[in-house]
Amino acid sequence: MVIALLSACLFLVSPCQTGGAKPRAIILIYADDLGYGDLGCYGATRVKTPNMDRLAQEGLRHTSAYCTSATCTPSRYALLTGEYPWRRKGTTVLPGDANLVIEPGRATLASRLRQAGYRTGVVGKWHLGLGKGKVDWNQPITPGPLDIGFDSCFLLPATGDRVPCVYVRDRTVENLDQGDPIRVSYGKPLDDSPTGKSRPDLLKMKPSHGHDMTIVNGVSRIGSMTGGRKARWVDEEMADTLTREAVRFINQSGDQPFFLYFALHDIHVPRVPHPRFAGKSGMGPRGDAIVQADWCVGEIMKALESRGLAMDSLVILSSDNGPVVDDGYQDEAVAKLGDHKPAGPWRGGKYSRFEGGTRIPLVVRWPTRVKPGNQSAALISQVDFLASLSALAGLADPVSSASDSQDQHAALLGNAPSGRSSLVIQGLGDGPASKLAVRKGDWKYIEPGNGPKKNQATNTELGNDRAPQLFNLVQDPGETTNLAHQETIRVREMADLLEKIRMGAP
Ligand code: NG6
Ligand code: CA
């Protein structure tokens, strides 16, 4: 006990590489599909997000922050590994029975912070695969987060709309009855139980595209699952369950500094908020899920405050990709959208190489180091979190496998006006075959490709074109005027820059 206290004191007074005390705790609240325009502090008016807005009032609001990719798995891969996901095949949106895509032993955001003395935990949506080979959900599942730097985990293995619809605590399925083993298939249905397709009358929310296989809690999902009935989640309770686990992690950390990666399920589909949030936004379940996500943020702050940690802890709020309105369920999101703009001023949304796909909210609160109430237009990517948070935690040595991750801690905290000189944006696609875009200064270049212009199902403009596209994001934030014809030299320079980065240049 004495030793623990002593080391905690030493930790607190030891300066970090960046000229100040290390954060007492680091909490990364990572929302799912939350758009730039979905938060009050980024301009939303109809849906209220008082807890998120308070973070921004007490901290720094970034306006030029990006996730690496317009979907979940690749953005999370980059966030944890510090490597652009398009360098690696197999990092696209994963099925629920996929294997872990980050190899054990590799440096991750979690392993780095653990090395720096932090207790590390992940609670919430994982979607980076689990296990190796055919996963047996009835046995300890390995490898997983515990093999890439986390001391504990409590997970949704993939997404809310993908089987298996169970939680995994550390290596095992929570509440599993061994007499009712779980089986999962992403091929043929495993039995002839009713599905969303065969028995839509059993559903409380019907799919609009896909999502018509196994029914769990009255909602049909992607993939087939049998067994594990006692272990299946109840969507309405998910935000409470995950928040309880996150708060427990905070409270159990004692005197040790800690890093919590709290990956919300909200506001991904299926949007089935708790009854106390249902109807609260007037915008249907999508808006209600935002209200619920905001509540989760408030609970985390309460937990930090009640432990006296809110002043010297770093809290980061962000999202894994841009927003989508109809993402496969008939949940009134389109009908009740009105004049709400989920992507704010940006064009496109989730799945898109237009700004709406990857320009995400990023709020940073750390009262002892970050001035309250400011905003920053510094260029910053979530791929930088590994190097930047490592530096803030006192580790300055570079990580060779994280060569895309730049130490942008000064920009992250609002102390550097420009941040990165350039960054790469991924829309859809897997690994090196992905079509990309690059931003440098005020300019954005979208490389040509054959993909469809629009995702008809989600009604999203994808940013694809057979011709090169060049936009000046300062004069034309809505990417309405393609300047590629006028600016041929700049197009060449941007294409060359993208090629160099593809070949490994920073
Ligand atoms: C799509 C799903 C969508 C969502 C997405 C992944 C269909 C028709 N659409 O394939 O609902 O699950 O994958 O979202 O199945 S992400 O945020 O995890 O990347
Ligand atoms: Ca997502």
**Pairing status of strand 60-62 against strand 374-376:** parallel
pLDDT digits (tens, 9 = 90+) for 347-360: 999 999 999 999 99
Tokens describing residue 141: 């599942």
- Torsion, Cα 267 270 274 277, to 10 degrees, reads 50
CA distance 207 to 270: 9
Please report which ligand is nearest the Cα atom of 73.
Answer: 1
Q: Domain 426-502 has what CATH class?
A: alpha beta
The mean pLDDT value of the chain amounts to 96
* Distance from the alpha carbon of residue 322 to the mean position of ligand 2, in angstroms: 8
Instruction: Decide if 114 contacts 151 (C-beta within 8 A).
Output: yes
The model's pLDDT over 220-277, given as tens digits with 9 standing for 90+, comes to 999 999 999 999 999 999 999 999 999 999 999 999 999 999 999 999 999 999 999 9
Mutation to probe ligand 1, out of 72, 91, 197, 214 (largest number of atoms < 8 A from CB) = 72
Nearest atom, ligand 1, residue 210 CA: 8
Closest residue by Cα to atom 15, ligand 1, is 210
Partnered with residue 479 across adjacent β-strands are none
Which pLDDT score is estimated for 17? Answer: 55
Confidence band, pLDDT 50/70/90 cuts, at residue 505:
confident
Domain ranges of the chain: 23-129+144-160+234-422, 426-502
The token duo for 111 is: 């392993």
CATH architecture of 23-129+144-160+234-422: 3-Layer(aba) Sandwich (3.40)
Q: Which ligand is nearest to the CA of 74?
A: 1
Cβ–Cβ under 8 Å, residues 319 and 31: yes
Atom of ligand 1 nearest to the CA of 159: 18
To test the ligand 1 pocket, which listed residue (30, 32, 71) has its Cβ within 8 A of the most ligand atoms? 71
Ligand 1 contacts (CB < 6 A) are 32-33, 71-72, 93, 127, 159, 161, 209-211, 222, 268-269, 321, 327-328
Mean pLDDT for the stretch of residues 168-173: 98
Put simply, whether the predicted model's pTM sits higher than 0.95 gets the answer yes
Q: Using CA atoms, how far apart are residues 315 and 275, in angstroms rounded to an integer?
A: 28
Q: Report the separation in Å between the CA atom of 30 and the middle of ligand 2, taken as the mean of its atom positions.
A: 10
| pLDDT tens, position by position, 80-105 | 999 999 999 999 999 999 999 999 99
DSSP states along 88-127: STT-SSPPTTPPPSS-TTS--HHHHHHHTT-EEEEEEE--
Burial letters for 132-168: b for 16+ Cβ neighbours within 10 Å, e otherwise?
Answer: eeebebbeebebbbbbbbbbbbbbbbbbbbbbbbbbb
**Ligand 1 atom closest to residue 162's alpha carbon, by position in its atom list:** 12
Residue having the nearest C-alpha atom to atom 4 of ligand 1 = 327
Kindly state the average pLDDT of the residues 163-180.
Answer: 98
461: which strand partners?
A: 454
pLDDT at 16 over 80: no
